[in-house]
């Protein structure tokens, strides 16, 4: 039905003009307007040039369903999510393709609690879009449209109001911080946030143009310019965010990326040292979280991969912090959404309280190596193949929270079907790279064995 469009609990996305078109945006926003029964919806977007065009289509679809629309403009994804919660809206639509390259755009959907849609909620929306009926109101009930320009200020106030932050100490430190917002939505909020936290900001790629100066995903290989800026400008830390500002990567004072897994680790270290309680992460997040939480006598819960799964579990058990190893920090005192701004505040407070450099804090953490690869499955059903692989392992070694995870005393290996491609994704972690690679190789052998056994 939607050729070239990727649909999942993360929203709907595609290359603009191919999978993502004004017609698609109009249909899905109209479906969302029907799902919220014509109530108020918050709309925001990242800085991609195509976002302006899609914004018109989204607002038209919502208004046609009778929804009053508040447009918060170009702001990070967590800003929109918080606005939904604080403004009493029935939901929100964020026009952003997150870390995808320039030609992509997408729609993300937020429920009335300010969280990304759960899988059951997304399936309800998808059914409305595919099967109908779409809500369509008469001329005298068309929804109104207005702009609200204070969402960024609201977001900054929420973060600076976090109870465990020592604002007096942060302002006294006057930390010099480099910031790379890849010229996208973070440019509109995060420089001001860092200044509100007492920092001297050295911004690069913060013009908000939506024209990415380098690949937009905040992976180590894309942080060279930030690292050079940290060293040249004598900054204590460098922060990089993805185009919609929910993922955070960190560069230490020597200009070295510490890896996105450790973004969450530093935030967790800050929180559990002050707030006793449970931590929730997904099944692929590094074991270093368990080590940090264990030192504070805090329990770690693991979920399937996906922000919605982590947030749902956090809400169920009242977790004090959670997130994903891709640089996604979720702190419920603010909201149950990945928030790079929250991550920055917690990490800066950690540095101020420990009186240590980033490299020194990282050096004190247990060291792990995570490896990943993928295996094409051809015409085989990936889930059935995982089931056959599972039968090759002793029951007491495995977890089936998300695909198959096999746990050893010195590491783990996990295989799970991709949500978007006919492949199996394989991950491993251990204290040294050789053992992590051995675990990968072992799983690859089991995949081959399971495939051969089915052929026989």
* Catalytic site positions: 98
Q: Could you give the angle at the alpha carbon of 77 between the alpha carbons of 178 and 342, nearest 5°?
A: 50
Q: Return d(Cα 195, Cα 376) in angstroms, integer.
A: 47
Q: Return d(Cα 284, Cα 451) in angstroms, integer.
A: 24
Q: Residue 314 — φ and ψ, nearest 5°?
A: -60, -45
Q: Return d(Cα 202, Cα 204) in angstroms, integer.
A: 7
């Amino acid at each position: 039905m939607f050729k070239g469009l990727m649909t999942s609990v993360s929203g709907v996305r595609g290359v603009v003009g191919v999978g993502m078109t004004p017609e698609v945006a109009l249909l899905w926003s109209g479906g969302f307007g029907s799902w919220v029964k014509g109530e108020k919806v918050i709309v925001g977007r990242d800085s991609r040039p195509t976002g302006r065009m899609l914004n018109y289509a989204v607002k038209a679809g919502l208004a046609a369903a009778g929804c009053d629309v508040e447009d918060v403009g170009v702001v990070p994804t967590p800003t929109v999510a918080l606005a939904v919660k604080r403004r009493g809206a029935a939901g929100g639509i964020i026009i952003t393709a997150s870390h995808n390259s320039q030609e992509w755009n997408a729609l993300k959907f937020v429920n009335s609690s300010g969280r990304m849609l759960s899988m059951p909620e997304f399936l309800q929306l998808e059914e409305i879009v595919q099967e109908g009926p779409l809500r369509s109101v008469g001329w005298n009930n068309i929804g109104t449209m207005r702009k609200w320009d204070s969402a960024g200020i609201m977001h900054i106030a929420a973060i600076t109001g976090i109870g465990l932050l020592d604002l007096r100490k942060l302002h006294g430190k006057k930390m010099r911080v480099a910031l790379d917002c890849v010229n996208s939505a973070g440019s509109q909020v995060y420089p001001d946030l860092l200044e509100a936290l007492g920092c001297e900001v050295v911004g690069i790629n913060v013009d908000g143009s939506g024209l990415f100066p380098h690949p937009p995903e905040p992976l180590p290989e894309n942080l060279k310019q930030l690292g050079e800026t940290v060293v040249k400008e004598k900054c204590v830390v460098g922060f990089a965010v993805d185009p919609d500002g929910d993922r955070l990567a960190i560069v230490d004072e020597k200009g070295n990326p510490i890896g996105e897994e450790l973004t969450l680790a530093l935030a967790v270290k800050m929180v559990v040292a002050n707030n006793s309680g449970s931590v929730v992460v997904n099944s692929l997040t590094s074991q270093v979280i368990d080590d940090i939480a264990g030192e504070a006598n805090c329990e770690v819960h693991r979920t399937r991969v996906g922000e919605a799964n982590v947030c749902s579990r956090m809400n169920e058990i009242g977790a004090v912090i959670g997130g994903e190893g891709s640089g996604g920090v979720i702190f419920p005192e603010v909201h149950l959404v990945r928030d790079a701004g929250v991550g920055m505040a917690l990490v800066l407070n950690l540095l101020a309280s420990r009186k240590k450099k980033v490299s020194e804090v990282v050096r004190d953490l247990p060291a792990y190596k995570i490896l990943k690869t993928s295996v094409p499955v051809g015409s085989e059903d990936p889930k059935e193949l995982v089931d056959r692989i599972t039968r090759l392992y002793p029951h007491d070694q495995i977890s089936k929270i998300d695909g198959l995870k096999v746990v050893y005393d010195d590491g783990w290996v996990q295989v799970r079907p991709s949500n978007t491609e006919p492949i199996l994704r394989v991950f491993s972690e251990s204290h040294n790279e050789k053992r992590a690679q051995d675990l990968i190789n072992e799983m690859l052998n089991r995949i081959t064995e399971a495939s051969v056994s089915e052929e026989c």
